[in-house]
């Protein structure tokens, strides 16, 4: 018995080059996962062998990845600068950011400024302001006149605060 065709002229009722053949799908290599494994990940550094994970498990695998692991500070800074130079065009597209604090929305400058205040990446601006005032009161030039070390510390605090304040204003302006 001949099978009927579903091609009834134009437009076709099924897609071009559509077939009923089975399609081979690779399953995620994470034990117990039955999702499609579309994301390759190296099994070990410099190895051609790959794991294939679903998006959820690929994100979990990459969460702890440290690109600069094993490099000294100078080499890590050199590579970071080289990468920043290569991707300078992407910095102009900051409006394609993520959606909240603590999830990658802070720039490298903001993270360095937060390190000055010893605050977490998801600190809100009120906490930043409190910490800035508390630290600035201790090293202000009026409190410690003639102390060059205190003056340098105050300048560092002031610069870090200005970076974070400008970023906060930019976030408020963007809505």
pLDDT digits (tens, 9 = 90+) for 28-73: 988 889 999 888 888 776 778 888 889 888 888 877 777 677 788 8
CATH number of 106-175: 1.10.287.110
Q: What is the pTM of this model?
A: 0.43
Which pLDDT tens digit goes with each residue over 148-171? 999 999 999 999 999 999 988 888
Per-domain residue ranges of the chain: 23-68, 106-175
pLDDT for the residue 156: 93
What is the spatial distance between Cα 60 and Cα 83, in angstroms, rounded to a whole number?
24
Give the torsion through C-alpha atoms of 71, 83, 45, 76, to 10 deg.
10
């Amino acid at each position: 018995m001949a099978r009927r065709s579903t091609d009834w002229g134009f437009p076709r009722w099924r897609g071009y080059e559509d077939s009923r053949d089975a399609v081979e799908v690779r399953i995620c290599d994470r034990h117990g996962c039955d999702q499609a494994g579309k994301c390759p990940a190296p099994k070990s550094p410099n190895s051609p062998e790959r794991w294939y994970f679903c998006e959820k498990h690929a994100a979990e695998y990459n969460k702890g990845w440290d690109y600069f692991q094993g490099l000294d500070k100078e080499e890590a800074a050199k590579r970071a600068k080289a990468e920043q130079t290569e991707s300078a065009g992407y910095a102009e597209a900051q409006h394609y950011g993520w959606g909240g604090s603590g999830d990658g929305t802070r720039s490298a400058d903001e993270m360095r400024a937060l390190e000055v205040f010893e605050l977490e990446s998801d600190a809100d601006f009120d906490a930043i302001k409190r910490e800035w005032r508390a630290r600035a009161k201790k090293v202000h030039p009026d409190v410690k006149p003639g102390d060059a070390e205190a003056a340098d510390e105050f300048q560092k605090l002031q610069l870090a605060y200005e970076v974070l304040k400008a970023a906060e204003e930019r976030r408020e302006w963007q809505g």
